[in-house]
Structure 1
Amino acid sequence: MVKHSAVFIFIFSVFAPAVFAQQKIRLTDDWQFLKQDLGGIWEAVRPVKKGAPEEVPLWTNVTLPHCVNAKDAVDPDVNYYQGPAWYRTLLNVKNPYAKGRTLLHFEGVGQKTDVYIYTTKVGSHVGGYDEWTVDITDAIAAFKKSDTLQKQFNGKIPLSIRTDNSRDLEMIPSNLSDFNVYSGIYRYLNLVYVPSVSLDKIFVQADVDSLGKEGKLSVRTRFYNPLNAATATVSIKLLDPFGKTIQQTQKVLSDLKSDVEIVNFNVKAPQLWSTEKPTLYTVETTLTTKDGVFTQAEKIGFRHFRFATKGPFFLNGKRLLIRGTQRHEDAAGVAAALTEEMIRQEFILMKEMGVNFIRLGHYQNSRIALNLCDSLGILVWEEIPWCRGGLGGPVYKEQARRMLTNMIEQHYNHPAAIIWGLGNENDWPGDQPDFDKEAIRSFMKELNDLSHGLDPSRKTAIRRCDFCKDIVDVYSPSIWAGWYRGIYTEYKQVTEEEFNKVNHFLHMEWGGDSHAGRHSENPDKALQQIKAQGTADERAGDASLYGGAARVSKDGDWSESYICNLFDWHLKEQETMPWLTGAAQWIFRDFSTPIRPDNPVPYMNQKGLVERDLAKKESYYVFQSYWATKPMAHIYGHSWPVRWGAEGEEKMVKVYSNCDEAELFVNGKSYGVKKRKSPDFPAAGLRWNVVFNKGENSVSVVARKGKETVRDEIKFHYQTEKWSKPAKLLMEKMADENGVATIGVKMLDDKNVQCLDAANWVRFGLTGDGELIDDLGTSSGSRLVQLYNGRAVIRVKTKNGKSVASAKVEGLPTAFVNL
């Protein structure tokens, strides 16, 4: 049976006695999984003795959340699986209500889903990102009528779920999208007990004037009433941020079939929700009927926002420069199946970096993500997955309407949400034989009207579809200065030109890729081949590593050194643009994609500030030096073990810090104190030209902000020997802790000098008792990866046995190491 891994008992009503409060139980354990289709539902539930030869196909044990593509999305040798898969378990159902309803609440399943109780199909859903619910009450009752079935399953209820992410041109998102269209029960699945009448949705509108003096609160309810009860009593409480009831009311209702506005409260001088102080109130709604009590609590916030026409963004009457990033639901080892703790860790890292805004691209995210944005103070642009490919037919359009409606209604109460996104790169053809701009415009208008009808309080937006930019409230063109087009010093000019073309501008997606661990002594060299173009949009084929005009994305070194310069320039420029609403860098975490097999980590979009396992790249600290308030200092190069150059040559040391001043020490000698000056590129003036010792060096910094002091230190080797062409590989075990061995490979020339610019592909292998820790989508977690400065690393689970690891580079002898 499924274990009750987390049980949430909701609040009892104070207006009427209740025997039970409703329960919501996460179904996480005791699941079986099959990565293929079945001949029919009978194969999932037929009685077969364990171990019998006819027990085929073979199921594996998993826990939820679970993604079908947890490993194969970044397997360098196969395409990721797109097709049916099955999950099954046994439910122990104990509904405490005499006439209660038993529900399955899905927080997100990809992409088409069928649900069965025993052999009865109880529900289906299309769309991998919105929430949905199936009432299994009647199917359970029918199943329990059979004593034979009760005995066969020991009183438990067999639940089977089929998921399917097969390619389908009449579905969104398009498979042309630059991200995997995953399958599986990759968000939480809940067993929910409710009385015969319950609250389906609560819509709370919290308004405040621009000065924050007058607040208004309205509450509208929608009911789940399958037995058609005639009357109910609804009670509303408004609790302040400390849990004190400040207003309450009660109402008897005789119409439970439609949305009902319950109350309008006036709130004097409410405490405002902001990105610096995300103050949350609670609206507690209790529904009472003769059959039971249902109570639901919603966190809400009072805030006022405004996009000035041809101007900046204002929150609660003050200009706020939007400092944003973006995310996909994607992580090493689990793909889309992130646990609540994993999501929390990710968002805390964002907030510590100084983020005040996030675009949740390109689909409705987990409710956990929205809750974190509310509590941490991160403004949200959330969008539906109408992404690339053109426009499909009636089924396609209906899915888009449904997903937009669900996104808005399910996330209506979150104060963090300010923008509903209607699409992304809708000027990208390919899924349909005809690409009709007017048809796309017509449907975009329909979605825009639908969004405003469902929620007049928030803005609509799209990114990169110029022929629709006049339809939505906020528009983001494509600006990739210094990556797909032009050079990064063109950023301000290009941005201002685009800003002047629309009433409300917000720049989504900028930055570029970096291969974690790869560094350069001359990172801007590729810019010598590229001319300033006065434009920075991404065009068809720009993401390819082959052909076309010179561009950094194709001709650059993909080093962390270059991307830090690009970020540094953009961030210091944004501080000098008083008209700018803001921008959101793409993307916080590296993520998998089926359309980039040739990237240094195959099938990975490497534009993240952290790797797919949340390991910070150097660029994370560039953003922190501009955005974070807590004092920090970071010497560039923590993942750069060997620097190179001539003996006696001056080399630049950069310190990224938000402190007022910093003093650098190299091998114990002070190189002086420098003041931080944001316009002084690079590193806001915190850079020193120094001469390293041949061999080992130690560099430290002491930075001060007011009375606070922070420090950082790195050690590295300085190589003065020049290398010739690669000749051989050196492989060695670098560490062995807790059953995990770290092995590394280095590229050497014929004189054993490390080739520090080598970027060859290396393939790791393993024979024996151990297991490679690969298919993670990280620079140290892929069995096929490009070298970073002539080296690469991977880890092995030794399993207390013996193994031989290998490293193969085309044209060179294979290297081995015994473990």
Structure 2
Amino acid sequence: MEVSRRSFLVGSAAVCAATGLHAPLLASVLQSSDDARNVRLEDGWEFYKGPLDGRFQVWHSEELVTWQKIAMPHCFNAYDACDPDTPAYRGVGWYRMKLKVTNPSSDGRTVLHFEGAGQRSEVWIGNERVGSHSGGYDEFVVDITDACAKTKGAEVQLAVRCDNERDIERMPSDLSDFTLYGGLYRAVHLVYLPAVSLEAVHTRVEFEPGKVAKIAVNGRLYGTGGVGVVLRLSLFDPQGKRVFEKTVERRAWTGEETFASFDLPQPQLWSTKTPSLYRCEVELNGVTVAHRFGVRHTRWEDHGPFFLNGERLAIRGTQRHEDHAGYAAAMPEELIRQEIRLMKEMGANFLRLAHYQQSRVVLEMCDELGIMVWEEVPWCRSGVGTKLFQERGKTQLTNMIDQHRNHACVVIWGLGNEDDWPGELNGEDHAAIRAYMTELRELSHKMDPERMTGYRRCDFAKDIPDVYSPSIWAGWYGGVYTEYKATLEKARPTVKHLLHVEWGADSHAGRHAEEPDAVLKQALADKDVAEKGLDYKLTGGAARVSKDGTWSETYACDLFDWYLKTLEELPWLPGAVQWVFKDFTTPLRVDNPVPRVNQKGLLTRDMVPKEGYFVFQSYWGERPMVRVYGHDWPVRWGKVGQERMVRVYSNCAEVELFLNGKSVGKKKRNAEDFPAAGLRWNLAFAAGKNELRAVGVGGVADTVSFEYQSAVWGKAEKLVLAVKSKGSGGTTVEALLLDAAGVRCLDSRAVVRFSLAGDGVLKDNLGTPTGSRVVQMYNGRAEITVAGTGMVGVVSDGVTAGFVAI
């Protein structure tokens, strides 16, 4: 199968730099684990944030700037991405280090492999620019062989310029609802290649249930010439047994060609339950490259469900951004693995990668755990822009498919997102947008005929992608959540393959409600459940929960509960994909309870599960679980003797609840009995301390403790600040808002600001409710942690400030 980006020859780095494009990733770089030939460059780096002239100043800058010693990966927006006062830095960052280059092959090639760098990069050896790349998310390589040969001395001066400056000709759009991070935020490798190596190895699988699987192994060469090559291919089954081997002797070729094909008579299938993976190894000139692949079959019934390996499978999905507190885009690989494991433990079998190609670790984990993937090119919230903009988009799509198509988990190539957005260059040229989307679809089908293409929210082009999602946000950006089923039924006949992608609600972790959200009565008047225009803003437009609601975890759980209940009632629907698994930063939402953070996550930005996570687990999880709602609800309130609802989320058939050690009865789980699938009790709590314990079948149990406050509060008068806890991570202080009589104001959503005088440091800008110096209170409280000592203060408009010394 021919691909649109051809293999490149020796010396092509200069061409790449001139065009702004780059060659496809080398399989020898991507798939080889030979530590002697593939050196991960983690230590020895220095960083400077700001412009320098690469021709001289980077290595003669000590009188101009101060370099910071750092380790890779590194994002230069790790701290400022969600600063409440100042927008994140958009500009240049320089990285430099000295390399010892010792290629074991005397006639070999030396390349640098970048797993991802934002958002545009230039690579310099000494005072020579040897390559450049536009695009913050696909992997790329730069051949530095010739430049290194010119270097005198034992060490090579390497410098990399990254920038995330605003650029109307680069994807994604600057109007995107996520931070366009800058830096070398994924791994960097120094790779030694022989004179001729493998640029790409792909396995193409043709399979239908009940038939043999036909496997074709394709390859492209790097460093081709008029020479012969000897390829040694081995295929191993999921248990590690060799099931096929072949030696191929032939002349070198250009482009991508099939060099081996064979049948697997009774293949072990990859599925969400049993993700069986085969291993393909190809050796050339002493370098063995390997990748895993799966045998599986997908089918989308017109206006109907999705089938995997001939059986109907309900898609149960979530979505993720590559973002984490304290690291931003430079997430350590173990944190990525932990995040994907939490998705699987929740019961998710599908993951949309928003809105760009993500780390290879994500795809590897999804392969291993059995999570299907929609991976997307970053054509997000923009029109067709310029010709260069369009070419860059096609290049990113080409690279994404070329680099990730061996992964069994990928079932949809996403062509983009929300390209009906106002305010971008040519953003209202519907004909041009349709034409470009068609180009992307055809490019995807040419490169990978077996997979579907997908798109979300662009109704005037919904007939173009193979799978389409309209905008449905019943109960958040419009209407109420009880309209969800009717809205899906209405959308069903409008496209052949409907997959509902993006739905949910923001929730401010730690904020809970005793009564239903009052805004629901107003929202009933608006029957349009789509997100329209600038509905994400907290001002203007019709009444809607997203603008006028309380953003409590209680409301979010009820919305999730209703949606999940509804999904079980619609066997025709392929499935739905919740937005989003974990909170992430965005420059567009400075007024949110945590400034500049999209808080629709089921986890906070530091990966602490909110209550909503367990609602999903109660519907989708396989292991028995019980969760009493309100683990971070320390004080509940109401009148003396007033009954309050207790929600228990569980996948057990029956749950017994205990209040202060006494059973208050057993209840059967019934998904049609909203809320909490019938596992709810209305109880009167004792004044002061209370304990709730729920026990499911087999003894699985959960316990929460809290206080019950019956005193009615008046007007807020003062903030009180006190030390909550001390530990190795620092001292945590808690602010409480009280009335004149000292009664806690438990419904307060006041904005507070923490400050520190002294030698300590606030642990802020984490993008979490407990890690921001400016934050809305959650039920009249807020907290932050301090490393070191000093005087901590907290202020809010109209009330007396609070202080505490630590």
Q: In which range does the TM-score fall when normalised by the shorter chain?
A: over 0.9
Residue 601 of structure 1: CA displacement?
0.2
- Amino acid in the other structure paired with 1:717: E
Match of 1:195 in 2: 194
**Does the alignment pair 1:270 with 2:267?**
yes
Q: Is the 8 A contact 2:720 2:801 kept in 1?
A: no
SS at 2:619's partner residue? Answer: helix
**Does the alignment pair 1:355 with 2:341?**
no
Measured in 1, the distance between the counterparts of 2:527 and 2:546 equals: 17
1:540 to 1:32, Cα distance in 2 relative to 1, 3 A: same
From 462, 465, 470, give the equivalent of 1:469.
462
**Does the alignment pair 1:36 with 2:50?**
yes
1:128 to 1:797, Cα distance in 2 relative to 1, 3 A: same
Match of 1:789 in 2: 779
Match of 2:129 in 1: 121
- Amino acid in the other structure paired with 2:702: D
Measured in 2, the distance between the counterparts of 1:176 and 1:9 equals: 32
From 384, 409, 417, give the equivalent of 1:416.
409
Match of 2:722 in 1: 732
From 196, 212, 215, give the equivalent of 1:214.
212
Measured in 1, the distance between the counterparts of 2:516 and 2:582 equals: 22
- Amino acid in the other structure paired with 2:644: K
**Does the alignment pair 1:753 with 2:743?**
yes
Residue 709 of structure 1: CA displacement?
2.1
Q: Is the 8 A contact 1:754 1:790 kept in 2?
A: yes
Match of 2:19 in 1: none
Residue 22 of structure 1: CA displacement?
6.2
- Amino acid in the other structure paired with 2:785: R
How many percent identity over aligned positions? 51
Measured in 1, the distance between the counterparts of 2:785 and 2:102 equals: 46
Match of 1:388 in 2: 381
Residue 264 of structure 1: CA displacement?
1.2
From 551, 563, 566, give the equivalent of 1:570.
563
Measured in 2, the distance between the counterparts of 1:253 and 1:506 equals: 46
Match of 1:426 in 2: 419
1:301 to 1:551, Cα distance in 2 relative to 1, 3 A: same
1:309 to 1:433, Cα distance in 2 relative to 1, 3 A: closer
Q: Is the 8 A contact 2:273 2:370 kept in 1?
A: yes
Match of 1:513 in 2: 506
Residue 739 of structure 1: CA displacement?
5.3
- Amino acid in the other structure paired with 1:794: I
From 647, 662, 666, give the equivalent of 2:659.
666
Deviations 1:770-790 (A, max 9, x none): 110000000000000000000
- Amino acid in the other structure paired with 1:698: E
Measured in 2, the distance between the counterparts of 1:41 and 1:327 equals: 39
Deviations 1:131-177 (A, max 9, x none): 1000111111110xx3xxx2xxxx22110000011101111100111
From 400, 403, 426, give the equivalent of 1:407.
400
**Does the alignment pair 1:479 with 2:472?**
yes
Measured in 2, the distance between the counterparts of 1:314 and 1:63 equals: 45
Deviations 1:472-520 (A, max 9, x none): 1010000001000100000011011112211001010000100000000
* TM-score, L = length of structure 1: 0.94
Residue 59 of structure 1: CA displacement?
0.9
1:433 to 1:194, Cα distance in 2 relative to 1, 3 A: closer
Match of 2:5 in 1: none
Deviations 1:670-703 (A, max 9, x none): 0111111111111111111111001110110111
Measured in 2, the distance between the counterparts of 1:352 and 1:439 equals: 43
Measured in 2, the distance between the counterparts of 1:812 and 1:524 equals: 26
Measured in 1, the distance between the counterparts of 2:29 and 2:192 equals: 11
Q: Is the 8 A contact 1:10 1:21 kept in 2?
A: no
Match of 2:83 in 1: 75
Match of 1:607 in 2: 600
Deviations 1:741-766 (A, max 9, x none): 00000000000000001101000000
**Does the alignment pair 1:24 with 2:25?**
no
Measured in 2, the distance between the counterparts of 1:44 and 1:534 equals: 59
From 90, 103, 113, give the equivalent of 1:95.
103
Task: Give matches, 1:754-773, under 5 Å.
Answer: 754-773=744-763
Task: Give matches, 1:221-370, under 5 Å.
Answer: 221-225=219-223, 228-288=225-285, 293-370=286-363
Match of 1:168 in 2: 167
Q: Is the 8 A contact 2:760 2:790 kept in 1?
A: yes
1:545 to 1:9, Cα distance in 2 relative to 1, 3 A: closer
Residue 575 of structure 1: CA displacement?
0.5
Measured in 2, the distance between the counterparts of 1:555 and 1:258 equals: 57
Match of 2:710 in 1: 720
Residue 42 of structure 1: CA displacement?
1.3
Q: Is the 8 A contact 1:21 1:294 kept in 2?
A: no
Deviations 1:76-109 (A, max 9, x none): 1101111111000111222111211111001110
Residue 542 of structure 1: CA displacement?
1.1
SS at 1:775's partner residue? Answer: coil
Residue 333 of structure 1: CA displacement?
0.6
Measured in 2, the distance between the counterparts of 1:119 and 1:790 equals: 58
Match of 2:799 in 1: 812
Deviations 1:177-227 (A, max 9, x none): 10011110011111111111111111111232123x41111110011116x
SS at 1:181's partner residue? Answer: coil
Measured in 1, the distance between the counterparts of 2:150 and 2:335 equals: 39
- Amino acid in the other structure paired with 2:732: T
Residue 11 of structure 1: CA displacement?
7.8
Residue 534 of structure 1: CA displacement?
4.1
Measured in 2, the distance between the counterparts of 1:303 and 1:678 equals: 32
Residue 368 of structure 1: CA displacement?
1.0
Q: Is the 8 A contact 2:718 2:739 kept in 1?
A: yes
Deviations 1:337-359 (A, max 9, x none): 01111110110111110010000
SS at 1:162's partner residue? Answer: strand
- Amino acid in the other structure paired with 1:731: L
From 557, 568, 580, give the equivalent of 1:587.
580
Q: Is the 8 A contact 2:226 2:251 kept in 1?
A: no
1:9 to 1:475, Cα distance in 2 relative to 1, 3 A: closer
Match of 1:59 in 2: 67
- Amino acid in the other structure paired with 2:213: G
- Amino acid in the other structure paired with 1:574: L
Cα RMSD between the aligned structures?
Answer: 1.5
- Amino acid in the other structure paired with 1:217: I
Match of 1:545 in 2: 538
SS at 1:96's partner residue? Answer: coil
Match of 1:16 in 2: none
1:545 to 1:190, Cα distance in 2 relative to 1, 3 A: same
Point out where structure 1 has 5 or more consecutive residues left out of the alignment: 1-6, 13-19, 49-53
**Does the alignment pair 1:45 with 2:59?**
yes
Residue 525 of structure 1: CA displacement?
2.5
From 552, 566, 591, give the equivalent of 1:598.
591
1:65 to 1:739, Cα distance in 2 relative to 1, 3 A: closer
Q: Is the 8 A contact 2:217 2:260 kept in 1?
A: yes
Measured in 1, the distance between the counterparts of 2:743 and 2:385 equals: 57
Task: Give matches, 1:595-744, under 5 Å.
Answer: 595-704=588-697, 708-738=698-728, 740-744=730-734
Measured in 2, the distance between the counterparts of 1:138 and 1:282 equals: 35
